[in-house]
Structure 1
Protein backbone atom coordinates (compact mmCIF):
# COMPACT_ATOMS: atom_id res chain seq x y z
CA UNK A 1 0.00 0.00 0.00
CA UNK A 2 1.50 3.23 -1.15
CA UNK A 3 0.35 6.38 0.68
CA UNK A 4 0.62 9.83 -0.82
CA UNK A 5 2.48 12.50 1.17
CA UNK A 6 -0.81 14.38 1.65
CA UNK A 7 -2.52 11.30 3.12
CA UNK A 8 0.46 10.58 5.39
CA UNK A 9 0.35 14.15 6.74
CA UNK A 10 -3.36 13.72 7.55
CA UNK A 11 -2.66 10.46 9.42
CA UNK A 12 0.27 12.03 11.32
CA UNK A 13 -1.92 14.97 12.31
CA UNK A 14 -4.62 12.58 13.54
CA UNK A 15 -2.01 10.62 15.55
CA UNK A 16 -0.65 13.84 17.06
CA UNK A 17 -4.16 14.98 18.02
CA UNK A 18 -4.90 11.61 19.60
CA UNK A 19 -1.58 11.64 21.51
CA UNK A 20 -2.22 15.21 22.68
CA UNK A 21 -5.68 14.20 23.91
CA UNK A 22 -4.24 11.25 25.81
CA UNK A 23 -1.51 13.44 27.31
CA UNK A 24 -4.09 16.00 28.46
CA UNK A 25 -6.21 13.23 29.99
CA UNK A 26 -3.18 11.82 31.78
CA UNK A 27 -2.20 15.24 33.14
CA UNK A 28 -5.76 15.88 34.37
CA UNK A 29 -5.71 12.51 36.15
CA UNK A 30 -2.37 13.31 37.79
CA UNK A 31 -3.69 16.71 38.88
CA UNK A 32 -6.84 15.18 40.39
CA UNK A 33 -4.84 12.54 42.27
CA UNK A 34 -2.36 15.09 43.60
CA UNK A 35 -5.17 17.45 44.63
CA UNK A 36 -6.92 14.65 46.51
CA UNK A 37 -3.68 13.64 48.23
CA UNK A 38 -2.89 17.22 49.26
CA UNK A 39 -6.44 17.83 50.49
CA UNK A 40 -6.44 14.68 52.62
CA UNK A 41 -2.96 15.49 53.93
CA UNK A 42 -4.19 18.90 55.07
CA UNK A 43 -7.12 17.50 57.06
CA UNK A 44 -6.43 17.19 60.77
CA UNK A 45 -5.41 13.75 61.95
CA UNK A 46 -7.88 11.84 64.06
CA UNK A 47 -6.95 11.44 67.69
CA UNK A 48 -7.46 7.99 69.16
CA UNK A 49 -6.61 6.79 72.59
CA UNK A 50 -7.40 4.24 75.24
CA UNK A 51 -8.02 5.41 78.80
CA UNK A 52 -7.09 2.72 81.32
CA UNK A 53 -8.81 3.48 84.63
CA UNK A 54 -8.98 1.63 87.93
CA UNK A 55 -12.01 2.53 90.05
CA UNK A 56 -12.41 2.01 93.78
CA UNK A 57 -14.75 -1.02 93.99
CA UNK A 58 -17.09 0.71 96.46
CA UNK A 59 -17.68 3.53 93.90
CA UNK A 60 -18.01 1.36 90.80
CA UNK A 61 -21.77 1.55 90.20
CA UNK A 62 -21.90 5.31 90.81
CA UNK A 63 -18.85 5.80 88.54
CA UNK A 64 -20.38 3.75 85.70
CA UNK A 65 -23.59 5.82 85.82
CA UNK A 66 -21.67 9.13 85.68
CA UNK A 67 -19.41 7.83 82.88
CA UNK A 68 -22.37 6.60 80.81
CA UNK A 69 -24.02 10.01 81.10
CA UNK A 70 -20.82 11.81 80.06
CA UNK A 71 -20.10 9.50 77.13
CA UNK A 72 -23.63 9.87 75.77
CA UNK A 73 -23.59 13.66 76.12
CA UNK A 74 -20.19 13.93 74.43
CA UNK A 75 -21.15 11.89 71.38
CA UNK A 76 -24.56 13.57 71.01
CA UNK A 77 -23.51 17.18 71.59
CA UNK A 78 -19.99 17.41 70.19
CA UNK A 79 -19.46 17.01 66.43
CA UNK A 80 -15.71 16.42 66.98
CA UNK A 81 -16.31 13.47 69.31
CA UNK A 82 -16.58 10.43 67.06
CA UNK A 83 -16.77 7.85 69.85
CA UNK A 84 -16.39 7.46 73.57
CA UNK A 85 -16.85 3.77 74.16
CA UNK A 86 -16.56 2.72 77.82
CA UNK A 87 -16.09 -0.91 78.80
CA UNK A 88 -14.75 -2.97 81.70
CA UNK A 89 -12.80 -6.15 82.19
CA UNK A 90 -15.15 -9.03 82.92
CA UNK A 91 -12.71 -10.62 85.36
CA UNK A 92 -12.28 -7.35 87.25
CA UNK A 93 -15.09 -4.80 86.62
CA UNK A 94 -13.17 -2.10 88.50
CA UNK A 95 -10.73 -1.99 85.56
CA UNK A 96 -12.45 0.31 83.09
CA UNK A 97 -11.25 1.03 79.56
CA UNK A 98 -12.54 3.83 77.37
CA UNK A 99 -11.90 3.93 73.64
CA UNK A 100 -11.87 7.62 72.70
CA UNK A 101 -11.95 8.79 69.08
CA UNK A 102 -11.88 12.48 68.22
CA UNK A 103 -11.93 14.12 64.79
CA UNK A 104 -8.77 16.03 65.73
CA UNK A 105 -6.62 17.16 68.64
CA UNK A 106 -8.54 20.46 68.59
CA UNK A 107 -11.83 18.53 69.00
CA UNK A 108 -10.33 16.75 72.00
CA UNK A 109 -9.16 20.01 73.54
CA UNK A 110 -12.65 21.47 73.04
CA UNK A 111 -14.16 18.35 74.66
CA UNK A 112 -12.13 18.96 77.83
CA UNK A 113 -13.80 22.38 78.24
CA UNK A 114 -17.41 21.16 78.02
CA UNK A 115 -19.67 21.28 81.11
CA UNK A 116 -20.50 17.55 80.87
CA UNK A 117 -16.82 16.56 80.84
CA UNK A 118 -16.01 18.95 83.68
CA UNK A 119 -18.87 17.46 85.72
CA UNK A 120 -17.58 13.94 85.02
CA UNK A 121 -14.01 14.86 85.96
CA UNK A 122 -14.89 16.61 89.22
CA UNK A 123 -17.49 14.12 90.45
CA UNK A 124 -15.36 11.03 89.76
CA UNK A 125 -11.99 12.41 90.88
CA UNK A 126 -12.03 10.61 94.26
CA UNK A 127 -13.37 7.38 92.72
CA UNK A 128 -10.37 6.89 90.44
CA UNK A 129 -7.47 4.90 91.90
CA UNK A 130 -5.35 5.14 88.74
CA UNK A 131 -5.56 6.62 85.27
CA UNK A 132 -3.35 5.98 82.25
CA UNK A 133 -4.01 7.60 78.87
CA UNK A 134 -2.51 5.62 75.98
CA UNK A 135 -2.23 7.41 72.63
CA UNK A 136 -3.03 5.04 69.77
CA UNK A 137 -2.12 5.01 66.08
CA UNK A 138 -4.51 3.90 63.36
CA UNK A 139 -3.66 0.91 61.22
CA UNK A 140 -6.77 1.03 59.01
CA UNK A 141 -8.58 4.37 59.21
CA UNK A 142 -10.28 3.68 55.87
CA UNK A 143 -12.50 0.90 57.22
CA UNK A 144 -13.44 2.77 60.42
CA UNK A 145 -16.53 4.45 58.88
CA UNK A 146 -17.75 0.99 57.84
CA UNK A 147 -17.77 -0.10 61.48
CA UNK A 148 -20.02 2.76 62.51
CA UNK A 149 -22.24 2.33 59.45
CA UNK A 150 -22.77 -1.34 60.34
CA UNK A 151 -23.92 -0.37 63.82
CA UNK A 152 -26.71 1.78 62.40
CA UNK A 153 -27.90 -0.47 59.57
CA UNK A 154 -31.30 -2.13 59.92
CA UNK A 155 -31.11 -5.85 60.48
Structure 2
Protein backbone atom coordinates (compact mmCIF):
# COMPACT_ATOMS: atom_id res chain seq x y z
CA UNK A 1 0.00 0.00 0.00
CA UNK A 2 2.84 2.37 0.85
CA UNK A 3 4.46 1.75 -2.56
CA UNK A 4 1.31 2.76 -4.46
CA UNK A 5 1.11 5.91 -2.35
CA UNK A 6 4.69 6.83 -3.39
CA UNK A 7 3.87 6.20 -7.06
CA UNK A 8 0.84 8.47 -6.75
CA UNK A 9 2.87 11.19 -5.04
CA UNK A 10 5.65 10.91 -7.64
CA UNK A 11 3.16 11.03 -10.53
CA UNK A 12 1.22 13.82 -8.83
CA UNK A 13 4.43 15.81 -8.27
CA UNK A 14 5.44 15.42 -11.92
CA UNK A 15 1.99 16.57 -13.04
CA UNK A 16 2.07 19.61 -10.76
CA UNK A 17 5.61 20.43 -11.93
CA UNK A 18 4.50 20.20 -15.59
CA UNK A 19 1.50 22.50 -15.07
CA UNK A 20 3.50 25.04 -13.07
CA UNK A 21 6.24 25.08 -15.71
CA UNK A 22 3.72 25.45 -18.52
CA UNK A 23 1.82 28.18 -16.67
CA UNK A 24 5.05 30.05 -16.02
CA UNK A 25 6.04 29.87 -19.68
CA UNK A 26 2.54 30.77 -20.82
CA UNK A 27 2.12 33.82 -18.63
CA UNK A 28 5.71 34.99 -19.09
CA UNK A 29 5.66 34.58 -22.86
CA UNK A 30 1.93 34.63 -23.61
CA UNK A 31 2.53 36.97 -26.53
CA UNK A 32 3.95 34.04 -28.53
CA UNK A 33 0.65 32.19 -28.22
CA UNK A 34 -1.49 34.90 -29.81
CA UNK A 35 -0.92 36.20 -33.29
CA UNK A 36 1.23 39.28 -33.08
CA UNK A 37 0.91 41.94 -35.72
CA UNK A 38 4.15 40.85 -37.39
CA UNK A 39 3.58 37.09 -37.00
CA UNK A 40 3.85 35.23 -40.29
CA UNK A 41 1.35 32.48 -41.09
CA UNK A 42 1.56 30.58 -44.36
CA UNK A 43 0.13 27.53 -46.06
CA UNK A 44 2.33 25.75 -48.58
CA UNK A 45 0.51 23.64 -51.17
CA UNK A 46 2.86 21.14 -52.76
CA UNK A 47 2.29 18.43 -55.33
CA UNK A 48 4.88 15.63 -55.30
CA UNK A 49 5.74 13.32 -58.18
CA UNK A 50 4.41 9.89 -57.08
CA UNK A 51 7.72 8.06 -57.58
CA UNK A 52 9.39 10.31 -54.97
CA UNK A 53 6.62 10.33 -52.38
CA UNK A 54 8.20 8.10 -49.69
CA UNK A 55 11.57 9.82 -49.98
CA UNK A 56 9.98 13.29 -49.95
CA UNK A 57 7.89 12.57 -46.83
CA UNK A 58 10.96 11.31 -44.94
CA UNK A 59 12.98 14.43 -45.83
CA UNK A 60 10.07 16.75 -44.95
CA UNK A 61 9.52 15.01 -41.61
CA UNK A 62 13.19 15.51 -40.71
CA UNK A 63 13.15 19.18 -41.76
CA UNK A 64 9.91 20.12 -40.03
CA UNK A 65 10.96 18.44 -36.80
CA UNK A 66 14.36 20.15 -36.79
CA UNK A 67 12.79 23.54 -37.53
CA UNK A 68 10.42 23.41 -34.58
CA UNK A 69 13.02 21.93 -32.20
CA UNK A 70 15.97 24.14 -33.12
CA UNK A 71 14.51 27.49 -34.16
CA UNK A 72 12.98 29.71 -31.50
CA UNK A 73 11.12 31.77 -34.13
CA UNK A 74 9.48 28.76 -35.77
CA UNK A 75 6.28 28.28 -33.80
CA UNK A 76 4.83 25.56 -36.04
CA UNK A 77 5.58 23.66 -39.20
CA UNK A 78 2.82 21.11 -39.56
CA UNK A 79 3.01 18.99 -42.71
CA UNK A 80 0.07 16.88 -43.85
CA UNK A 81 -1.27 15.25 -47.00
CA UNK A 82 -4.72 14.68 -48.48
CA UNK A 83 -6.35 11.38 -47.53
CA UNK A 84 -7.48 10.65 -51.07
CA UNK A 85 -4.25 11.78 -52.79
CA UNK A 86 -1.04 11.54 -50.78
CA UNK A 87 0.90 13.44 -53.47
CA UNK A 88 -0.99 16.58 -52.39
CA UNK A 89 0.95 17.95 -49.41
CA UNK A 90 -0.05 20.96 -47.31
CA UNK A 91 2.18 22.58 -44.70
CA UNK A 92 0.91 25.01 -42.08
CA UNK A 93 3.81 27.30 -41.15
CA UNK A 94 3.75 29.80 -38.28
CA UNK A 95 6.73 32.07 -37.61
CA UNK A 96 7.15 34.62 -34.82
CA UNK A 97 7.83 37.29 -37.45
CA UNK A 98 9.29 37.86 -40.91
CA UNK A 99 12.85 37.85 -39.53
CA UNK A 100 12.29 34.38 -38.07
CA UNK A 101 11.13 33.20 -41.49
CA UNK A 102 14.17 34.73 -43.19
CA UNK A 103 16.45 33.04 -40.64
CA UNK A 104 14.66 29.74 -41.23
CA UNK A 105 15.45 29.92 -44.95
CA UNK A 106 19.19 29.99 -44.15
CA UNK A 107 19.32 27.02 -41.75
CA UNK A 108 21.19 23.86 -42.77
CA UNK A 109 18.09 21.66 -42.33
CA UNK A 110 15.93 23.88 -44.57
CA UNK A 111 18.64 24.19 -47.23
CA UNK A 112 19.09 20.40 -47.22
CA UNK A 113 15.31 19.95 -47.61
CA UNK A 114 15.07 22.49 -50.41
CA UNK A 115 18.01 21.23 -52.45
CA UNK A 116 17.30 17.52 -51.99
CA UNK A 117 13.59 17.76 -52.91
CA UNK A 118 13.74 20.08 -55.94
CA UNK A 119 13.32 17.23 -58.45
CA UNK A 120 10.49 15.72 -56.37
CA UNK A 121 8.19 18.75 -56.44
CA UNK A 122 5.76 18.99 -59.33
CA UNK A 123 4.22 22.26 -58.12
CA UNK A 124 4.51 24.66 -55.17
CA UNK A 125 2.17 27.42 -54.09
CA UNK A 126 2.86 29.59 -51.01
CA UNK A 127 -0.18 31.32 -49.53
CA UNK A 128 0.27 33.97 -46.83
CA UNK A 129 -2.58 33.95 -44.33
CA UNK A 130 -4.05 36.03 -41.51
CA UNK A 131 -5.90 34.51 -38.56
CA UNK A 132 -9.56 35.40 -38.24
CA UNK A 133 -9.43 34.93 -34.46
CA UNK A 134 -5.81 35.35 -33.30
CA UNK A 135 -6.77 34.98 -29.63
CA UNK A 136 -7.91 31.40 -30.22
CA UNK A 137 -4.35 30.42 -31.25
CA UNK A 138 -3.29 30.31 -27.61
CA UNK A 139 -6.07 27.78 -26.94
CA UNK A 140 -4.61 25.50 -29.59
CA UNK A 141 -1.25 25.44 -27.86
CA UNK A 142 -2.88 24.96 -24.46
CA UNK A 143 -4.89 21.98 -25.74
CA UNK A 144 -1.74 20.30 -27.05
CA UNK A 145 -0.84 19.34 -23.47
CA UNK A 146 -3.97 17.14 -23.18
Q: What secondary structure does 2:127 align onto?
A: strand
**Runs (5+) with no aligned partner, structure 2:** 1-35
Instruction: Say how many residue pairs are matched.
Output: 111
Match of 2:123 in 1: 130
Q: 1:110-131 deviations in whole A, cap 9, x for unaligned?
A: 0000000000000001000000
TM-score in terms of structure 1 length: 0.70
Question: Which range is displaced more, 43-52 or 87-96?
Answer: 43-52
Q: 1:95-138 deviations in whole A, cap 9, x for unaligned?
A: 00000000001100000000000000000010000000001011
Distance in 2, Cα, partners of 1:123 & 1:98: 18
Asked if residue 86 in structure 1 is aligned to residue 79 in structure 2, the reply is yes
- Pick aligned residue for 2:114 from 113, 121, 124: 121
Rg comparison, structure with higher value: 1
Asked if residue 97 in structure 1 is aligned to residue 95 in structure 2, the reply is no
Give the RMSD, CA atoms, in angstroms.
1.0
| Greater RCO, 1 or 2 (C-alpha within 8 Å, sep 6+) | 2
TM-score in terms of structure 2 length: 0.74
**How far apart are 1:68 and its partner, in Å?**
0.4
Indicate conservation of the 8 Å contact 1:44/1:103, yes or no. no
**Runs (5+) with no aligned partner, structure 1:** 1-42
Structure 1 residues 140 and 44, CA gap change in structure 2 (3 angstroms)? closer
Match of 1:63 in 2: 56
Asked if residue 108 in structure 1 is aligned to residue 115 in structure 2, the reply is no
Q: What secondary structure does 1:130 align onto?
A: strand
Q: What secondary structure does 1:139 align onto?
A: coil
